[in-house]
């Protein structure tokens, strides 16, 4: 029981430190990433993505907030991060944090000129998705999440059970 209490204490402390600003004004539609997500330039996973250009990339990254469904994605035409206001205000804070890490990986891919939505591939087989999920799983493990919790994170409503198994295998998670 002592170990479990310690783990709960550790995770609770970690979640309080995650740099996600919950309150969102309803009239905000676009802003700079660093205006809303303060402190991500200090997150090691983000610094590994962008290196010395971390502050520059995050300061120049635009975020478009929408009331349309979904979670978040990178607009392949503009490179903007598009986030559902509903998800941001009601979603699980750890999932939101991991999604931001995932999408920042896509921002890097976009800046490199890579095709984010290559229709030749199924979503879970798409090289850019596998790469972004691998990176996100690495961060989830650093946070101390179990494979079971990571599988819960990976599962989406548009993914079949076989898709989830394929993705989990590709990113080294046992579901």
Note whether 94 and 18 are within 8 A (CB): yes
Least confident of 12-16, 71-75, 110-114: 12-16
Q: What is the pLDDT of residues 76-123, one digit of tens each?
A: 999 999 999 999 989 999 999 999 999 999 999 999 999 999 999 999
Structural domain count, the chain: 1
Q: What is the pLDDT of residue 116?
A: 95
Range of the domain at 145: 2-171
- Between 3 and 174, whose confidence is greater? 174
What is the rounded CA–CA span in Å between residue 44 and residue 17?
Answer: 13
Measuring CA to CA, which residue among 125, 142, 136 is closest to residue 151?
136
Least confident of 26-35, 100-109, 127-136, 140-149: 26-35
Measuring CA to CA, which residue among 86, 57, 61 is closest to residue 75?
61
């Amino acid at each position: 029981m002592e170990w479990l209490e310690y783990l709960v204490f550790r995770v609770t402390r970690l979640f309080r430190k995650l740099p996600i600003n919950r309150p969102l004004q309803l009239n905000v539609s676009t802003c700079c990433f660093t205006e809303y997500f303060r402190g991500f330039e200090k997150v090691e996973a983000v610094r590994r993505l962008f290196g010395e250009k971390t502050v520059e990339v995050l300061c120049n990254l635009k975020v478009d907030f929408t009331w349309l469904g979904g979670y978040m994605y990178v607009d392949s035409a503009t490179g903007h991060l598009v986030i559902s206001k509903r998800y941001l205000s009601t979603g699980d804070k750890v999932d939101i944090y991991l999604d931001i890490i995932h999408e920042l990986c896509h921002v890097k891919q976009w800046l490199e000129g890579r095709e984010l939505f290559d229709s030749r591939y199924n979503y879970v087989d798409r090289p850019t998705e596998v790469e972004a999920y691998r990176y996100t799983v690495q961060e989830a493990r650093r946070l101390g999440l179990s494979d079971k919790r990571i599988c819960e994170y990976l599962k989406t409503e548009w993914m079949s059970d076989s898709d989830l198994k394929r993705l989990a295998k590709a990113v080294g998670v046992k579901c």
